[in-house]
Every structure is written in structure tokens, then in C-alpha cells.
Structure 1
């Protein structure tokens, strides 16, 4: 296809990228990413139609030119042009072509390019309806991949080959995709990880000679980025050596400017990552590994509970206790697939938006420690009325002061780093007391990753669709229980959907009364 046609299409998509059209964030929610699949399908079909129309137009131009050239060549071969042009019909046809045909049949269609405008209008309508990602989305997706590597100890080579935590997927990356990941990580200041991806890109490209027309140019470009990354990591000798390798083969390569830049500035410092104190336990549990524990003499075993509430007499609760003091229980088969579908139907009526992290005075901010999208469901629909009853019957609490159900969906490397659910200080004004308990429904299975982990209790829970996890965030004294620090591990493969309901301590005085002695001492050692 001609350069003209491709540049027209490129111009349309550059228009999309730099002129908005983004309705919401995509990479932080697997559900939102489904919209992008539809966007790409619509754009693919529209672009194919556009190119077909352009090809028809080009075929017409080509036929027109062949006809003109045939007559023009015949004219030029005439020994006497005056005799040829003296014929009135010959003169008429020449003037007609120059006055009318060239404009109407060639120049006007090229300038107006109706198929291109139709493509632009169609793509704009799709983007306005479904949205379109901008460059920041690419950064978010790359950070998600780097996060998965860090938490799950995944090598760059394995990820590039489609090998995720021991499972091989048909999704290996090309050298160019590895290179682009490396460049984005460099821009984000992740120099060591950037180097790893650049090295993989170099190996893949060099292992397939002849596949790229400008192979030497790209190999040099990868080396140049690697030189800059090494400089930032304090490896100035390695950086200079890489640039010399480029210039030995190509003395005129622009990397001599990069060498001057490197010579003019001081090397960076070797980056040593200082992870927070909870990080080792967090990553271990996310990988499904526990620390050895001494036997408490109280083995935990699953049981059926039909006594908590008469509602469960005929269909007892299927309880799996996973920790005692604080009690953490998994209630299996709490929701059927039909009920889960009803929750999704309610959520689809609302707008999903990026999950934020609570701050002072109830104010929230978006941060990478929490990567997901969410919305809130009230208790007016039949399915939500049913769930509110279930929560009250299982917990024994009054739902009068509870928050609406928060439905969340995790995207590329979606996670929520260790955090408590209680506020302790700066409670939002509308709260009736702090969050006394958490009820988390798993609304989907997750193929790999996405565990719920309690970093101070040596507990990890894989998501099981239809199950509910419940625990108390406050002691009976209503002091916060610091032992309940928990996290949502990054999703390796799949989509994680959960529904959270937080009950508040207001209205619960007679449902969970204080003991005669305070039980707050139990979590004193877990404060830090």
C-alpha cells in the first residue's frame, strides 16, 4: 500500500492519542480491557474497509493514467504537433482533460479523500462511546509486568517466552515488544529491570538475522539505551564499552553524542532496593509459601454450621477456619453463579473508576500500591437485599451502618499492597464508628496469583468463586487490631473480581459487647 494511504491512517490514530478520547483508565481493570478488544475490532474492520476503498480509488487512478499516457504517447510520436492540435476534437479533449478531468477525477478526490473522512468519523464515534488508551496506559501496563516479576521472582527471559510461574502460554514477545518494555522501564527509572528487557530484545533480534531490514540500526539503538541504563546504575565502564562497540562498527553513528553526554556527567549510584519490613512475608505468601509454625494444639478443620442463624438450618454454612485469634473464616459456596451474574448486572449499570487509597479526613488518592477499578452497589436491588441479609445472619451485626458493597476488578498486575481496613483516625464524617468487620466475596476464580494474604498472620487465601472471607478489624474494646494487615497479591493470569462489605461499629453495642477486660494488648506487638 502506498505511503499516502498509510500516512492518512497514522494521522487518524495520532489524532486519537493526542486529542483525548479517553473515557477512563483501562489497564487497571480486566473488565475495562474488554472494551479495548471491541475498540480494536471496530478499528480493524473500519481500516480494512478504508483500505479497500482506497485500493479501488487507486485502481481507478491507475486506469485513468494508463488511458492518458496511451494517448499522450501517441501525441508525442506525431511529427507535426500543429497538425494534431489543429484537429478540433484533439484540442477539445486535451483542454477538457486539463480543465475538468484531472480536477474532478484525480485532484479533488485526493484532496477531499472521502473514505479517510468516513474512517475518521467512524473511529471518533467508537472512541467517544468506548474510550481509547493514551501513552500513560502503556506505562501502567509495563509497571504491572515489572511488578509481577518482582513479587513472583519471574525472570525476564521466561516472561518474554510466555512462561508464567511454570505455565507456558502461547504469548511469547517479539524483540520489538521486549525493546519497548525496556524503553518504558528506562523512562520510569527502573534501570536494572530495563537492562534485563533490553538484553532479551538484543538476544532475540540477533538470533534471527535478516528478519529486520534495519537490523544493525536497532542493535545499536538497544546498546545505546543499555549504555545509558548502565550509567544510571553506576556502571560507567560498561556504559563506555557499549558505546565504543557501536562506534567501532559505525563511526558516524549518533551515539558519539551520547558518549559526550556520558563523559560530561557523573555516573549514577548502584541502585539498592530497600523494601519495607513487610515485603518478604508479602512476596512469600503471594507465592503460596508459609513460614514454619509451631503447633498450637488446636488443629483447624472445616465444619458445617447450622446454628449461627435459623436461616442456615436447612443449608448449613460450609466453614473453613484459616486462623484463630483473630478469627478468619472462609465460607464456601455462599453465592451461586446466578447471584454473581446478578451482581455483575447491577455493577454494569454504573461507572467503574480507578480505586483510590484512603487518606486524611476521608480524602482519597490514586497510587500504584492499589491497582484496580471499583464501583459501589446499594442494597435496593433484589440481589443486594439478599446479600445484606446473608451478611447480617453470618456476622450477627446490624447492617444499618454498613457501607455499600464495593465491587472491584483487578487488571494488569492488579494488586493492593498490605493495608488495614480500619481507619483508626480521621474517620469520614458519614461513618458510624470504624470498620468493625470485613466481608469479602470472591466473584471469580483467578487462574494464577491474586491471593489474599495476611502478612502478620502467615495466612494466604486463593480466590474461590462464590466463597466469602470474614474477619474482625477491631477488638471487642473497639481498639484497632493491627494483626489484620492484609493485601491483595498481583494477578498473574486471569481476572480477579471481589465484592467487599464493611460493617461499622456503630449500632453494634449489644451484638458484640466489650469484655470486662480489654483485649487490645493482643495486637500491641504487631503495631510495627
Structure 2
């Protein structure tokens, strides 16, 4: 479009010049000479325009072919769900839809009938499906930063597509690393931003593809790196980087950046106070337990066919993982077909961003919980079966149960340590607090996504079809603070779970209290 505007402007100027100088063309050969000059300039301008358009078309063709190969690879060599479960693939997909398609294709494409049809199609797709926006891109970048923080992953390894020693063949280009660095800077993650900017410089300098105007790109990266250093309390390093830019490019915007930084007082770096659970949380998420004295015998798996007659012929496969409070994993509770039916029902419902419950049941969206969810009642055949299973295993009356919450965790999806009970200010519709949690794993997760209990030194990898169950309240109905738990960030894969919370209001005869309160036993764990 810009080339065409330049062409039209050039033609207009030439015609105006010829007309003003000579008035008529046909009445004088000399004027025809001048008109021939106009045509020659028109031909040259048209040739340049067509050449530039051909370059654009070649670029579009290469870009589309590249994406086509990636989509074919995702759908033929791998399952699409596994492909989208990889955090780098997810980031690149969101980045393309937020930035690349608009900047590289939609804006510069030729304005003609084909473009009008193309634009109408793009607009229709946006109306039907919607497009991610800048906040979506920031969300994906936050997910990558979260993975780095919890799992001690370096920017260089992530850029190479290597996660915990496993290579996924999905390396990032320097532009993508630069974009991650910029987004992290905007989010105030200055140290993490520097890591990605440094990787971008390394990839740009060692790129096998010859980039035009490499120095210009390096200067842009260094300018952001200088600002990140300044924010981290290192103005000397910031000045060195700006000087490196201005030595070769005296008119670069780094001049304004230097003036801006010089006008600012060096801020005091805030020392964030980490929550008490953080160290245990990150270690458990990495699959490492804290050292502890084990005086009791190790827990062993067993078969339980006596809990209910329903399990006589097919006993429960019980894996006890903690005693007092009891946390048990029941394997093989849901078949692959049952899981598929549950996920099909969830897909028909409107999935929405998970929120964090507050006083009185009010909920807000926060980064400490990154997932999407929906709720399923127990009317369908498969959900009746799920409700029946939960009642028989837990021993609780399902009249006091909430609908099953089906949740899906995507890029860096997590739920930081939290209790499932409310304690005070119960929602008005609740009949008692959440006495128990039943968490059905509806998928395996290739890497990450553990369920951890930071106060109990327990981590559980998701196993499709398994059920994890624990009590959130003592028999006295006092809250059990030891049950603080979390869903670790998903590194690679897609985590799907189904939660059922049962309320205490209907369970007086299912789990009666003792003559003396049992909550004092856990006093040492209360915070």
C-alpha cells in the first residue's frame, strides 16, 4: 500500500510538472519529449511497484508454506492436543494470531478484490471464533516465566526447545525471544527480560539466515537491555549499552532513552517477601520431597473390596500417600470412554477463565490461578455414574455435593497453594463447608502439573482415570489447614481434572464427630 501511494504521488508530481511547464502536449514535439519522460518515470515506478509486490507475494508464499508444514507436522506426526500442550508451540500460535498475521499479512497485502474477500473472511472468522489480543500474548509470556521460576528452566534451554533434558525440536527464533524479553520488561520482570534479550542477541548474531540491518536490530535489543539494567539498579551497565548503540548510530532513539534515564532517580529495588510455602512448593513441583525423619513404616498399596458391595468383584486399587490427614489415590476409577464422555459434555458448555473464591463466594480472576473451567450436573448417564462412584468411595451423601468442576490448564497453567474450605463467610447456598475434595484426573500430563501438599511433603503426578480424595475438615468440622494444596504449572501437555466438593451439612451420620475435638492434633500445622 505504501509503495502504491508513493507511485501515485510520483505520477501526480510528474504530470503536474509537465502540464505547468508546457500546457498542451499534442501541439509541440518538444512537449511530447517531456511527456515521454513522464512515461519513462511511470514505467520505472510501475516496475519498482510490481517488483516490490512480487517480493511480498513470495514472502507470503514462504510464510504460508512454513505454517502449512508446521500444521501438517502437528496433525500427522503428533496429536494436536500434545502439540498445543507444549508451551513454546502455544506461545508461537498466540503470537502469530496477535501480531504476525496482522503485521505481516493483513496490513501490507494488496488492496484489491482478492484482499476484500480475504478481509471479509478474516473478519467472519473473528466474529465466529474471536482472536487473541495483547493480553493473551502477555498471558503466554507469563506462563513461560512461571515455568522458569518453578522449574529452574533457563531461557537458552527453552529457546532451544529443551525442557528438563528433553528436546522437543521446537526452537525459537531471535525475534520471538526478543518479543518475550519485551513483554517481560513491560510486565516488570526485568531480570527475566534480560535473560531473553541476551538469548535474542546470541541467536541474531549466530543466525544462519542472513538478516538485513542486523546492527539496527541489535541496537533495539540493547536499548531494552539498558532500561532493564537501570530498573535493576545498574545504571552503569545501562549507560554502557546505550553508548554502544550511539557510537555506530548517533541518531538512534537511544539518545532519548539516555536523557530519560538521566532524568530519573535510581529507584530502590523492592525486595519481595516470598510466601512461606514457596520453597516447599517449588521443590515438590519438581518431584523432590523435603528431607524428613520417617519413623513409620512406608505406606503400601492395597486392594479394598469391603468398603461397599459394589467393589466386591472389582476392588478399589488404593494408593495411600499420607496418613493424618488421609490422602488416598484410587486408580482406575474412570475408563477412557467415561473420560471422553465427560470431556464431550464439558466441551458443549461454555468454558470460562477460572476465578479465585473470596468472602461470601465472590470470585475474582487472578494469575495465581490460570485455567479454564465449566460445571457439570449429574443428570447424564456418565455423570450419574461419576456421582455414584464418588458417593461409594467417600461414603458421603451426594445431596451435599457441588456440581463437578471440569478444569483445563494450558500454558504454564497452575493454581498456587490454597485450601478448598472457606472457613468463614460461606456462600449463602452452602449447607456447611467443603468437608471433602474428590479430584478426578481426566488426562495424563507429559511434564509438570503435579498436585502438591506443601505442608505434608506430598506430590502426586496426574494419572488419567485416577481419583485423589482427602478431607478438608476435621470430624469436629474445624478446618484442617494441613490440607493446603496446589496445582503445579503444566510444562508440557494439557492437564484436565474434575473436582467434586461435598458439604458437611448432610453428613452428620456419614462422618460423625468424636466425643472430643480432634482438631488440636494438627495445631502444629496451623498458620
Instruction: Report the TM-score when normalising by structure 1.
Output: 0.80
User: Per the alignment, do residues 30 and 404 of structure 1 end up closer, same or farther by CA in structure 2, a change over 3 Å counting?
Assistant: farther
**1:300 alignment partner in structure 2:** 299
**2:380 alignment partner in structure 1:** 381
Deviation of residue 125 (structure 1)? 1.9
Deviation of residue 387 (structure 1)? 0.6
**2:218 alignment partner in structure 1:** 219
- Name the CA distance, whole Å, in 2 between partners of 1:500 and 1:385: 15
Deviation of residue 151 (structure 1)? 0.2
Does the residue aligned with 1:266 lie in a helix, a strand or coil?
coil
Unmatched tracts of structure 1, length 5 or more = 11-28, 55-109
**Number of paired residues?**
447
**1:421 alignment partner in structure 2:** 420
Deviation of residue 523 (structure 1)? 2.5
**Farther off after superposition, 371-380 or 244-253:** 244-253
User: Per the alignment, do residues 481 and 38 of structure 1 end up closer, same or farther by CA in structure 2, a change over 3 Å counting?
Assistant: closer
Does the Cα contact within 8 Å between 2:405 and 2:500 map onto a contact in 1? yes
Deviation of residue 132 (structure 1)? 0.8
- Name the CA distance, whole Å, in 1 between partners of 2:302 and 2:249: 73
Residues 1:437 and 2:436 are matched in the alignment: yes
Does the residue aligned with 2:498 lie in a helix, a strand or coil?
strand
**2:471 alignment partner in structure 1:** 472
* Structure having greater relative contact order (Cα 8 Å, sep ≥ 6): 1
**2:126 alignment partner in structure 1:** 127
- Name the CA distance, whole Å, in 2 between partners of 1:271 and 1:208: 37
Residues 166-208 of structure 1: per-residue CA shift (max 9 Å, x gap): 1111111111100000000000111110011111111111123
Does the Cα contact within 8 Å between 2:94 and 2:136 map onto a contact in 1? no
User: Per the alignment, do residues 225 and 518 of structure 1 end up closer, same or farther by CA in structure 2, a change over 3 Å counting?
Assistant: same
Does the residue aligned with 2:505 lie in a helix, a strand or coil?
coil
Deviation of residue 127 (structure 1)? 1.9
Does the residue aligned with 1:431 lie in a helix, a strand or coil?
coil
Does the Cα contact within 8 Å between 2:94 and 2:132 map onto a contact in 1? no
Deviation of residue 372 (structure 1)? 0.1
Does the Cα contact within 8 Å between 2:95 and 2:137 map onto a contact in 1? no
Please give the root-mean-square deviation of Cα atoms over the aligned residues, in Å.
2.9
**1:150 alignment partner in structure 2:** 149
**2:117 alignment partner in structure 1:** 118
Deviation of residue 241 (structure 1)? 0.9
- Name the CA distance, whole Å, in 1 between partners of 2:165 and 2:277: 26
Deviation of residue 438 (structure 1)? 0.3
Residues 1:289 and 2:300 are matched in the alignment: no
**2:140 alignment partner in structure 1:** 141
Deviation of residue 122 (structure 1)? 1.4
Does the Cα contact within 8 Å between 1:39 and 1:127 map onto a contact in 2? no
**1:408 alignment partner in structure 2:** 407
**1:363 alignment partner in structure 2:** 362
- Name the CA distance, whole Å, in 2 between partners of 1:523 and 1:135: 46
User: Per the alignment, do residues 293 and 479 of structure 1 end up closer, same or farther by CA in structure 2, a change over 3 Å counting?
Assistant: same
- Name the CA distance, whole Å, in 2 between partners of 1:448 and 1:353: 24
**Farther off after superposition, 199-208 or 413-422:** 199-208
Residues 1:242 and 2:241 are matched in the alignment: yes
Does the residue aligned with 2:220 lie in a helix, a strand or coil?
helix
Deviation of residue 251 (structure 1)? 2.1
Does the Cα contact within 8 Å between 1:482 and 1:527 map onto a contact in 2? yes
**1:25 alignment partner in structure 2:** none
- Name the CA distance, whole Å, in 2 between partners of 1:318 and 1:210: 56
Residues 1:449 and 2:448 are matched in the alignment: yes
Residues 443-482 of structure 1: per-residue CA shift (max 9 Å, x gap): 0000000000000000000000000000000000000000
Unmatched tracts of structure 2, length 5 or more = 1-49, 61-83
**1:69 alignment partner in structure 2:** none
Residues 102-139 of structure 1: per-residue CA shift (max 9 Å, x gap): xxxxxxxx6xx322221122122222222210011000
Residues 1:174 and 2:166 are matched in the alignment: no
User: Per the alignment, do residues 278 and 253 of structure 1 end up closer, same or farther by CA in structure 2, a change over 3 Å counting?
Assistant: same
